[in-house]
Amino acid sequence: MKKETSEYPFDWMLWSSVMSGSKVLDGTRKEYEALLRVIPHFRGVIDLLLSQGETGRLFMRMGAEYLDDIKTVREKGKKLCFGTFVAAKTLFFAFDNVVPVWAEVMTVFASILFRKGTAEYMDYCCEAGFTETSCSAQRGSVGAYLAGLAERPDFLVCGASGICDTNANAMQFMSEYLGIPLFQLTFPSKLTGREIDEYQRRDYRALISFVEEHAGTRLDEGRLKSVLEEHRRQDELINEIHDLARLKPCPMPPIHNLFLYAGKLQMPGRKSFTAVLESMLHDVRKNAEAGRAGTSSGRERARLLMCYIDHYTTDGRFWEWMDANDISLLPTLIFTFFNKGAPYARGREDQTYGIDTSTMDAMLDSLADINAHMPMVKQLRGPYDAAGQWREDLFQMTGLMQPDLTVYLGSMGCRNSYGANKLIERDAERSGLPALLLFADAFDDRVASWEFCQDKISEFMHVRGILS
């Protein structure tokens, strides 16, 4: 790792950038311009977010709240929990002295905000001994923690990893390397049945006991109920946004995908995310009523469905390019959340989760169900063409959203998807949906630059007659 990189704390840099960005419009235009001279690289991101009006401001404030909790964890006498994005996130907000931080979320922040992304942290992770073919979404932040460039976690939690082996292995490696206690949630082969319910209740009660031991406090059952009820309200808002996204033209701005998924992974059950969603819905409804697309021009030239994940390149150029070219970015397949009211889950209620807060057992069941239906865990826990898996979800979403093309973007670090991407391409093309495979890394431009990906998507759309 370069000396200049090791001199600056990873989490402090994220906190200072996002906190500053969240306050830029609290002052005058002159003050705004003065701030941008201090953080010039961040200007493109700020301008992109602020172009979304109040929704963009609320999103930045939500990110600032998340990072401020992490930055001030010691001075507030709280405990830091580090883990993966599938780790019963809602549960941790029911403890009054626990601050959760998720590897993938921190990598997304850094990939967008840092001029060189997270490349050096990824490399350091490998230098420390972790495999270079592992998931970059984890390596991008785990490397910083291994290097001691972020606040040392008090304990680690790994969610149900499905068939993503690096999900579990990254946390195990981190635990052994740093000597930090780890709790590993497990994942049953079936999702329903009395024995499964009992198994998962025991697993989640063990998780709660683990957190209580290392946090030195008890779970607040009333607080858990409130957080889950807020989570349910958020699901209702997301469902309405996704339902409106079906319209032609699609009234959802491309960058709203980032807002939705970042919030869902950062702040489920927190009121700051609810505020973002309410503002998003207001914007989408307004566009729908006017018959406008969500793009800045109000026009829609094409509808794109990413069949795995977006590209989290520096400066938010992925979403900016979509907007500039009047391309509607439909809800990304791998970030669909199968609650009972989701439009893409209609007729498939047996594949959904619900939230029940009537008893403690019911809340534990809800937490387990939420986790079991998380992106990737749901779609990629078995054969891609089995019921409720990746293929079925793709065709359900295609029928609902009516995309003009689908794009897979991934590398061998995402082995759970990369092993089946050619099958997805084959079946999509057979169904009449043009499909493009891009060997690239959503978090590492060194694998394939965003400019390369942009050129390939543009070329594909012109060759296939999607854009003239």
Q: Which two tokens stand for residue 403?
A: 């995309």
Write down the pLDDT at residue 150.
Answer: 96
Instruction: Give the tens place of pLDDT for each residue, 67-112.
Output: 999 999 999 999 999 998 878 889 999 999 999 999 999 999 999 8
- Under CATH, what is the fold of the domain 3-207? Rossmann fold (3.40.50)
Q: Which two tokens stand for residue 263?
A: 């919030």
Quick check: helix, strand or coil at residue 37?
A: helix
Residue 201 has pLDDT above 90, yes or no: no
Among 99, 79, 82, smallest CA distance to 177 is for 82
Bridge partner residues of 81 (DSSP) = 100, 155
- How far is the C-alpha of 161 from the C-alpha of 227, rounded, in Å? 24
- How far is the C-alpha of 393 from the C-alpha of 184, rounded, in Å? 28
- How far is the C-alpha of 375 from the C-alpha of 159, rounded, in Å? 12
Which of 225-239, 306-320, 379-393: highest mean pLDDT?
225-239
Instruction: Give the tens place of pLDDT for each residue, 339-364.
Output: 999 999 999 988 899 999 999 999 99
- How far is the C-alpha of 325 from the C-alpha of 309, rounded, in Å? 20
- How far is the C-alpha of 230 from the C-alpha of 56, rounded, in Å? 21
Q: Which residue has the tokens 């700051």?
A: 272
Write down the pLDDT at residue 242.
Answer: 95
Write down the pLDDT at residue 40.
Answer: 59
For the stretch 188-195, contacts whose Cβ atoms lie closer than 8 Å and that sit 24 or more positions apart, written own/partner, are 191/369, 191/372, 192/350
Quick check: helix, strand or coil at residue 82?
A: strand
Residue 410, C-beta contacts closer than 8 angstroms, at least 6 positions apart: 308, 309, 417, 418, 421, 438, 439, 440, 441, 442
Q: How many helices (H) and strands (E) does the chain have?
A: 20, 8
Q: Which two tokens stand for residue 410?
A: 């991934």
Of 141-150, 177-186, 380-389, the poorest mean pLDDT is in 380-389
- Cα-Cα end-to-end distance for the chain: 46
Pairing status of strand 327-329 against strand 435-439: unpaired
Mean pLDDT in the chain?
A: 90
Of 140-149, 157-166, 248-257, 403-412, the poorest mean pLDDT is in 157-166
Whether the CB-CB separation of 384 and 378 falls below 8 Å is answered with no
Q: Would you place residue 148 in the very low, low, confident or very high pLDDT band (cuts 50, 70, 90)?
A: very high
DSSP string, 369-423: HHHHTSTTTTTTSS-TTSTTSHHHHHHHHHHHH--SEEEEEE-TTSHHHHTTHHH
Write down the pLDDT at residue 405.
Answer: 97
Quick check: helix, strand or coil at residue 302?
A: strand
Whether the CB-CB separation of 393 and 417 falls below 8 Å is answered with no
Write down the pLDDT at residue 51.
Answer: 87
Bridge partner residues of 220 (DSSP) = none
For the stretch 122-125, contacts whose Cβ atoms lie closer than 8 Å and that sit 24 or more positions apart, written own/partner, are 122/443, 122/444, 123/1, 124/1
Q: Would you place residue 160 in the very low, low, confident or very high pLDDT band (cuts 50, 70, 90)?
A: low
- Average pLDDT (406-431) is 90
- How far is the C-alpha of 302 from the C-alpha of 322, rounded, in Å? 10
Write down the pLDDT at residue 238.
Answer: 96
Q: How many CB atoms lie within 10 A of CB 43?
A: 17
CA distances from 83 to 31, 153, 171 (A): 38, 9, 7
- How far is the C-alpha of 108 from the C-alpha of 461, rounded, in Å? 27
Taking the CA atoms of residue 127, residue 128, residue 130 and residue 132 in that order, the dihedral angle to the nearest 10 degrees is -10
CA-based diameter of the chain, in Å? 63
Residue type, 3: K
Q: How many CA atoms lie within 13 A of 379 on its CB side?
A: 27
Residue type, 192: T
- How far is the C-alpha of 303 from the C-alpha of 405, rounded, in Å? 7
Q: Which two tokens stand for residue 36?
A: 């941008």
- How far is the C-alpha of 235 from the C-alpha of 340, rounded, in Å? 9
Bridge partner residues of 183 (DSSP) = 157
Write down the pLDDT at residue 189.
Answer: 54
Quick check: helix, strand or coil at residue 282?
A: helix
Write down the pLDDT at residue 41.
Answer: 64
Write down the pLDDT at residue 162.
Answer: 59
Write down the pLDDT at residue 343.
Answer: 93
Write down the pLDDT at residue 20.
Answer: 79
